Each structure stands twice: as C-alpha cells, then as structure tokens.
Structure 1
Amino acid sequence: MEKKLFFFDIDGTLTDRRTGQVVPSAKRTLELLEENGHFVSIATGRAHYKCRSLLTELGLENMVCSGGMGVVIKNELVKNTPLDRDEALAVIHQAEEKGIGVLVALDDSEKVYAKNDLFREQVGPRQEPTEYFIDPTFNIDEAEAIFKFYLAVPKEQDHLIPEPVNFSKLRFVPEYTMCQHDNKKQGIFDVLAYFDRPREDVVVFGDDVNDLVMFDKSWTSIAMGNAVDVLKAQADYVTDRNVDDGIYHACRKFGWI
C-alpha cells in the first residue's frame, strides 16, 4: 500500500459542528490510517497552544497549526513563525491612530497585551479564554515578536483597516477582527520538506472556505458532504457528510484503510 500524508481540518470535518465533538468514525479512521503506516495530522488555523488537548484526544502526534506557520511532528513543535514584525507594527499603529482598540499576543499563549483597555471598552472581551495585561507603559515597538493581534473593528467598519500583505484579517465574530497567518498549505509544504516527500503523496480533507488554501491540484483534495459548494467545486472527490462517516467511507474507497 502506498503511504500517504493526511491533513484534516477540525471543525465540520473531524468534529460535529452542532456538538463540537469528534465524530467517532473519524477518530477510528485516523487510528486505522496510522496502523497502516500513513502520516496523519490535523491542519488548523488555531494557535498551537489551543490544539494540544485535541491532539491528545485524537491520539495524534502531528499537526499544522497557527494558520500554517506552526508545525508539530511527533509531539515536537518544530516551527512556530510570528507575523512579519514591520507590517504588524504598521497595521497596529494605523489602528491606534484611528482610535481603534488593539490587543496583541506576543507569544504562544492566551495572554494579550495593551497599553489601555480601549478594546474591551469598544467591543467587549474576546469570546474565548483570555488573560489580559493592561499596562500604560506597554510599548509595542519594543516587542521582539508578534504572533497575532486583535482589532476592535466591527464588521461594518472593516474597511477602516486595509488587508495586510504578509498575513490576513480574519473575522469569526461580528464584534472584532483578528490578524494572523492564514496559509495552511505552507504548513503542509513544511511537513513535506521535513520528510523529503513529494506533493502527490498528500491527501487533505476539509469543509469550509478557509480550507480552500490547502486544496491544491498537485495532491488529493477531499471535501466533506457538508462542505460549502465552493470547496466541493475544487475537490477531487466529495465524500459523505462528516457525521455520516464521510472520512471513513472516503478512506475505504481509495484503499487507504
């Protein structure tokens, strides 16, 4: 059997969006793939620290994370690249000049820093676990690295901050936007380079528009039956819905398990 390198999106692919729980047949399929000697990894935009518990739950040792700029192989974080510092500082200062609240993540953790509490005054707290450090003496220009930052820009004011060149503005809630890496394909390239494997050995599974970046014609791309139409249109194969054992059925069809 030809050994492949598998990369799975999380929400809507491995997990049921209604419950947030891993689909049982998906977890069993990952186990069968590893038993057959394939490389198995999750591929997510989430920060490294947010995914460690899921990696343990799945029984896996590999992941592409942090929007493609983080790579874990055999439970070792081999890469976690911060944002382009100069561009990040330029965007942050632009936001500050427009009176927009900013929170900055300086490392791989739930800690965020700011010189004032303007962000929470404008849009409220972040909608995820967060440890706030508000210090009037905080100077972002002294930061050695910036991993991501949050802007108190409601959806209707998104035009106030132009799209960055070297990273992305992402919006998961209407109240604020997040600036971070969004290139899961780069993480896949890094794994291929690590193992010196060709692109045609890759198989990716996804369901949403943020997975478009890792659907590449040089490898096999599989969309879940519950995927958005634009992703299905780019897929080499569309399997059943994830809650209808779509991952298991696809892997059986192609003879990977």
Structure 2
Amino acid sequence: MDKHLIFMDIDGTLVDRDQKISDKTRSVITELQQEGHQFYVATGRKYSSAFEMAQKLNTDTKVVASNGSIYSVNDTLHKKQLSRDALAAIYETVSYKNLPMFFFGEHTVFYTEALPDYLQKGDQSRVSNNGEEDFLFIDSIDKLLSMSTRIVNGIIIAEDRQDELGTVKAELAEKNLLSLSSSHPNNIELIPKGVNKATAIQEIQKELAIPKEQIISFGDGMNDMEMLQASGVSVAMGNAVDELKQQAKFITDTNTEDGIANFLINYFK
C-alpha cells in the first residue's frame, strides 16, 4: 500500500485521562511505521511536552506542536511565533478582565496568574538540559514583550466564564493580529497569524511529496478542525465534539477504546 502520512492529536485522542498510550495503539502504530508510514503527534502543547509524548510511542514519531507553530520535517525544526503586536494586543485585551493567560516557548510556560494544578502536573515535561526555566511569571506588558523572542503561542483558560471568553475572542479577532481557536469551551488558543495544524500539515505534505488522499488525521476538539479538513482521510474520535464529527469523513471509537488503533487496523488490514 502507498505510504501514508498520519497525524494524531494527543489529549482526548492518543492518550487517556492518565496520559497513557494503550499497548494496542503503540503496537499498531509501530507496525505501520515499520511498513514505511510516517506518524506525527499534532497538538496544542508546547514542543518539549509534545516531543516527550512522541518519544513514548517511539523515536520514529515526529512532532507538530503549539497548534502548528512548531513542526519537524526531514530532521529540521520549523518555528513561527506570535508577533510583538499580537502579544501587546492580547495582554491589553485580557488583563483588565483578570483572565489567566499562559504563553509557551519550546520549553517554558509563561503565566500571568497562579498555575492550575493540572497544568503544573500535565505540562511541565521538557527536554532535559535545555537551559530554560520550566515556568516564568509575567506581571506586566513590558515583561511579556521582553520575552517575545521566546514565545511561540498561548492560551487563555477560564472555567465557568465562557461568556467573557466569547467577548475576548471577538475583540481579539477584530484586531486581526493572530489566529484563534479553542480545544475546549473553557479556553481560547492564541496562535501566530495564518497558522494552524493544517498549515503545518500542508508544509510537511509538500516537503515529503505525499498526496492529500494519503493523509490521515485523528482529532477530538475544535482546534483539530482545519487539520481534518486538510486530510484526505479525516477521523473524529468517538468522544469528539459534535461539530468535528459532522465534518469528519469517519468516526472511530473513543480515545479510551483504542479508537486510533481500531481505525488503522480496519483501514490498512
């Protein structure tokens, strides 16, 4: 069979709530890699966290991180960043509402409010000996802008304040300085202008000369929408949001029921 390029979101797709990849999923992916198919994790996570998860599969798994802002192809790492104007607009728009902002470098989390427990536990992984802090507090727009060369993307997270998030998202959209998405109703993902998971896929596709019909993608959230649209074979997880299921060509089992592995077995075997 022709070699395929396969992209998998991480949270809610590749892993369960305990951040575990099932033995069945790992076995199926490894077998297909040995047959020449190329696998990527494609996530909103920072690069070092995504890289660590890819390594939990095996060393042949590549990375699209920060919602397409960072990706690797042919052993070269490509990176796009939020502009200084975008960072200033985000801070000025969001800070007066006292909504928590988090910005991500390749390894560092920059934060404006207390770090929630799940972020401290779930997103503190990094490449060892990278020489950067794990977490850095941002208390002013000047401090944020002084870190601009290190910041790739960001997120606003607010539980039970979805109306305010909607207002902020509309205000930021009007400024036309960045791309916006949401992996969950409680957040706004802040991405460099014109960038998403699909733009990374298209660059990788072009570099590897693989036609769209041989691209498979798996996702569960709204930040996976463009990725699925850029793929010839789009697969929504059984636990995906309804909007994604409506756009996907296929729906598989949930992330806790080996949805990725089950689809791949049926598709390739």
The TM-score range, normalised by the shorter chain, is 0.7 to 0.9
**Larger of the two Rg values belongs to structure:** 1
Does the CA-based 8 Å contact 1:107-1:147 persist in structure 2?
yes
Q: Give the corresponding residue for 1:107.
A: 105
Taking the aligned partners of 1:138 and 1:25, their CA distance within structure 2 comes to 49
One-letter identity of the residue aligned with 1:249 = N
Counterpart pick for 1:163 among 168, 172, 183? 172
The alpha carbon displacement at 1:82 in A equals 0.7
Three-state SS of the structure 1 residue aligned to 2:136 is strand
Residues 212-251 of structure 1 aligned to structure 2 (within 5 Å) = 212-216=225-229, 219-251=232-264
Taking the aligned partners of 2:258 and 2:104, their CA distance within structure 1 comes to 40
Does the CA-based 8 Å contact 1:184-1:214 persist in structure 2?
yes
Taking the aligned partners of 1:84 and 1:137, their CA distance within structure 2 comes to 14
The alpha carbon displacement at 1:238 in A equals 2.0
Taking the aligned partners of 2:36 and 2:53, their CA distance within structure 1 comes to 21
Q: Give the corresponding residue for 1:71.
A: 71
Q: Could you list the per-position Cα deviations for residues 8-60 of structure 1 after superposition, in whole angstroms to 9, with x for gaps in the alignment?
A: 1112221123x321122111111011011111111111110211221111103
Does the CA-based 8 Å contact 2:110-2:135 persist in structure 1?
yes
Gaps of 5+ in 2: 121-133
Does the CA-based 8 Å contact 1:7-1:205 persist in structure 2?
yes
TM-score in terms of structure 1 length = 0.78
Q: Give the corresponding residue for 1:125.
A: 115
Taking the aligned partners of 1:34 and 1:155, their CA distance within structure 2 comes to 41
Residues 61-100 of structure 1 aligned to structure 2 (within 5 Å) = 61-73=61-73, 76=75, 78-96=77-95, 98=96, 100=98
Does the CA-based 8 Å contact 2:4-2:38 persist in structure 1?
yes
The alignment-based identity, stated in percent, is: 25
The alpha carbon displacement at 1:144 in A equals 4.7
Q: Is 1:148 the equivalent of 2:153?
A: yes
Gaps of 5+ in 1: 114-118
How well do the aligned residues superpose, as a CA RMSD in angstroms? 3.1
Taking the aligned partners of 2:91 and 2:140, their CA distance within structure 1 comes to 16
TM-score in terms of structure 2 length = 0.75
Three-state SS of the structure 1 residue aligned to 2:172 is coil
Taking the aligned partners of 1:239 and 1:207, their CA distance within structure 2 comes to 11
* Distance of aligned partners of 1:152 and 1:48 in 2 relative to their CA distance in 1, 3 Å threshold: closer
Q: Give the corresponding residue for 2:200.
A: 187
Does the CA-based 8 Å contact 2:6-2:37 persist in structure 1?
yes
Q: Could you list the per-position Cα deviations for residues 153-178 of structure 1 after superposition, in whole angstroms to 9, with x for gaps in the alignment?
A: 6544322561333222647695x765
